[in-house]
């Protein structure tokens, strides 16, 4: 009987430890605003778009310009738009 009781008590204590572990807060310290790294500075990852070299601002800007123009149908279909007057 005592063994069962002590097992139950141990299980309850373990459950309490695990259950309350989520109640803690991450440590917070006072900060001043940090300086951000520029987007073209990289580093390269598996998801880096092909077509530019991390660290090279000009190639990054040209890659983004290419993607921006990808939103323009007239560039994608290779036709000059006919403007209505």
Partner 1 sequence: MARMKFICDAERCIECNGCATACKAEHDVPWGVNRRRVVTMNDGVPGERSISVACMHCSDAPCMAVCPVDCFYRTDEGLVLHDKDVCIGCGYCSYACPFGAPQYPSNGAWGLRGKMDKCTFCAGGPEPNFSAAELEKYGRNRLAEGKLPLCAEVCSTKALLAGDGDEIADIFRTRVLVRGKGSEVWGWGTAYGKPAAGSGGEARKEGTKS
Rounded CA separation 17/64 (Å): 50
Is the Cβ of residue 10 or residue 49 nearer to partner 1 in the bound state? 49
Is 19 a binder of partner 1 (CB under 8 A)? no
Q: Minimal CA–CA distance to 40: which of 63, 66, 60, 65?
A: 60
- Minimum CB–partner distance for residue 45 and partner 1 (Å): 6
For residue 48, give the DSSP letter.
Answer: S
Kindly identify the residues of this chain, within the stretch 28-67, that bind partner 1 according to CB under 8 A.
Answer: 28-29, 31-43, 45, 47-49, 51-52, 57, 60-61, 63-65, 67
């Amino acid at each position: 009987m005592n063994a069962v009781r002590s097992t139950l008590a141990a299980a309850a204590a373990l459950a309490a430890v695990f259950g309350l572990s989520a109640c803690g807060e991450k440590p917070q310290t006072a900060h001043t605003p940090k300086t951000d790294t520029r987007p073209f500075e990289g580093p390269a990852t598996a998801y880096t778009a092909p077509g530019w070299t991390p660290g090279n601002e000009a190639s990054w800007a040209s890659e983004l310009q290419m993607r921006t123009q990808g939103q323009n149908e007239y560039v994608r279909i290779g036709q000059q738009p006919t403007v209505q007057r």
